[in-house]
Amino acid sequence: MTLVSKTFDLFGKTYVFEVGELAKQATGAALVKQGDSTVLTTVVVSKERKNYDFFPLTVDFNEKMYAAGRIPGGYLKREGRPSEKATLTARMIDRPIRPSFPDGFRNEVQVVATSLVADQKNPVDVICVMGASLAMTIGGVPFEGPLACVRIGRDKETGEFIVNPTYEERENSDLDLELAGTRDFISMVEAGAEEVSEEDMLAAMQFGQEAIGAFCDAQLEFVEEWERVNGPIVKREYPLDQPVEEVHDRIFAHYDEMAAALRDADKLSRQDKVAELMEAIKAEFTEEEQLVWEREIPVNLKKLEKTAMRRMVVETGERVDGRSAAEIRPIMVKGDYLPLVHGSGLFQRGQTQVLSVLSLGMLNEGQRLDTIEPVDGKRYMHHYNFPPYCTGETGRMGTPKRREIGHGNLAERALIPVLPDENEFPYAIRVVSEVMESNGSSSMASTCGSCLALMDGGVPIKRPVSGIAMGLIQEEGKTVVLSDIQGLEDFLGDMDFKVTGTEKGITALQMDNKATGLTFDILRTALEQAKEGRAYILDKMLEVVPGPREETRATAPKIQCITIPTENIRDVIGKGGETIRGIQDETGASIDIHEDGTVYVGGVGESVVAAIERIELIVKVPEVGEEYTGRVVSIQPFGAFVNLLPGKDGLLHISRVAQGRVKKVEDVLNVGDEVKVKVIEIDDRGKISLDRLEKPEAPAGAGRGEGEGRGERRERGDRPGRGARDTGARGFDRPARRERGDRPRRPGDNGGRAPRRHHEAE
């Protein structure tokens, strides 16, 4: 096998296909690059056919942290459980590949995509589909390809579509559309959008289909080069499950019975009737026949159910629960469903019921992301749970599966465009949607329930969001688009097309398509029908919850934002965090300080106000003329130091502690005393001088010196040309005294001082 590498440019980006050097023992392996971002995708097909009645395909995405030059977090310092993004990428690869394999393929297939380089400019996800397509093609695997996946963005300023935008280009885009398929049809769509119209979304999908075709042509050109260097690709032969006419005929003889069993609006009752009928049909086969046709019998029983359901829709226009094609199931909405929580909403449509619960927290409680993408975290989190009891079954309760992560991500993308900016609403937001009952469209019920919870919790969303799941039946040359599909129509239909949005436009979209005959005219019909359905559902929601509360609930934290000078951040934090911890412990509030001086303070009740007051006192700068009630923290021979604000002391000179002369400060003040003072001077070094308000009289005899009985001496501060003395301790300078040279001296002049008066001893 000789290495073949091909570089090409498409839509302003550079790509590389490379095969023949890495992972040569796999059935197929291909290296794909966009810029410097590099992914190795391998495909292995088992040699033996599995005894399954389904296609055993497994897809994994290995997110290697070394690709971004990072060391994994955690104690073990190695990659562990896949991140949410890795799981979504694996789903992105799986969904276009699965329907491309022929019916009856039962050999096990494993696709593994490994990120080798993440250049922090170009995402690695969409190019994985091309890698899988190339690997299967070079490996001779039978599938309907080539396949490609593209991401379509749209520049907010110019309105131009962008193919596989960089991270920087995505920041200026109002559309994030991923779609995959062949050059002839689309099989997978995922989208997040800022209220984009149906017309613009359809135009983006058409543009994306053209881009997919260009990447498929690039793969075909590479395959020609590969075969020129290495010879023709050997197509491997894999046995397929072949239909057995006898089994088909005997089972389909019960078509009318199956059609009758399906006509039941109650899901569990219908399932019981269908299961009972299938067991009765299976019992008509002998034990020997059941052993011989152990795969063919269950396959044809499923086919009978599928055919009966689909013919019912296209022939009579009636669905299994009696609805017409565009009819939506009965809706029940309840807001304010749970006490004490920060917000809640119950949404039910038919037999699908979801309870969504809101939790609000500080911004630093948002999710931190440890991935290879240049994204550190996210503020809004939506988690979707699908316990086994919601379908009346038993099962293992554990970590969320891929389906739960995918559905949660769809509801999350649906609501992100309408969330308030963090400057307006400085909260981390988490909504958990618990599926209580499920009969189709639980992800759309989660979107509606989450919107109700947000509004009930007082989150000022821009506009309310609703969602609906659309379906498609193509049978006997007829096409019917279904609104609000239930589980059976999803499983046995040709398309699952979920659309969310506001009255203004689409916010999220997801589609899985099995029909090769899906045209853009059909998509246009589905989008318009979905728009009508979304509006109907939204009206039902707003009848109960007209809009967001004016304020968050009393049980939710109140968060306020203030700004402090950056030079004061250290003062607020304190040595080893002592100051900020003290404020939090004493007030009960939570404090989050950012490097730019932004401070978020959150708590319940009066704790926020109390904490902000403490912070403002720390950063406040006293001004001349301001009055304070301070506490004496230190006494020196020349005066007392009074604490005015946290970390800020001023000097109350001994001459200003009382009316009259005081020999010792301790005669008037003690450490710990509270004293009312006024700021009279702040020098250029920030040193503060104080004067005492409401001075008491100096104690009797406080001014006497060692010679007890001397007459009263004039206070030095009262003498002409002299002011109160200051020793300059703690960096405080002595007040300037009059210089002797300020005026000419005459003989006998003593500098303006009064002559000493001598008193006789009593």
DSSP calls for 333-372: EEES-SSSSSEEEEEEETTEEEEEEEEEE-GGGSEE--SS
d(Cα 304, Cα 243) in Å, to the nearest integer?
13
Asked whether the beta carbons of 361 and 341 are under 8 A apart, the reply is no
Neighbouring CB atoms inside 10 A of 640's CB total 29
| Closest listed residue to residue 241, CA positions, set 56, 19, 480, 514 | 56
| Closest listed residue to residue 473, CA positions, set 459, 458, 488 | 488
Asked whether the beta carbons of 491 and 438 are under 8 A apart, the reply is no
Q: At what angle do helices 607-619 and 578-587 cross, to 10 degrees?
A: 150
DSSP calls for 51-64: --SS--EEEEEE--
Tell whether residue 496 is among the known ligand binding residues.
Answer: yes
Burial 461-500 (b: 16+ CB within 10 A, else e): bebbbbbbbbbbbbbeeebbbbbbbbbbbbebbbbbbbbb
| Closest listed residue to residue 250, CA positions, set 309, 310, 294, 304 | 304
AA identity, residue 149: C
Q: How many CA atoms lie within 13 A of 612 on its CB side?
A: 17
d(Cα 307, Cα 256) in Å, to the nearest integer?
11
Residues forming beta bridges with residue 155, ordered by sequence position: 173
Read off the DSSP letter of residue 730: G
d(Cα 442, Cα 484) in Å, to the nearest integer?
11
Instruction: Let me know if 343 is exposed, middle or buried by CB neighbors in 10 A (0-12, 13-18, 19+).
Output: buried
Tell whether residue 490 is among the known ligand binding residues.
Answer: yes
- 186-196 sheet: strands from edge to edge: 161-163, 148-155, 173-181, 186-196, 506-513, 495-501, 466-475, 478-483
AA identity, residue 633: V
Residue 468, token pair as written in the block? 């609906």
d(Cα 258, Cα 300) in Å, to the nearest integer?
12
List residues forming the annotated binding site for Mg(2+): 490, 496
* Residues contributing to the annotated binding site: 490, 496
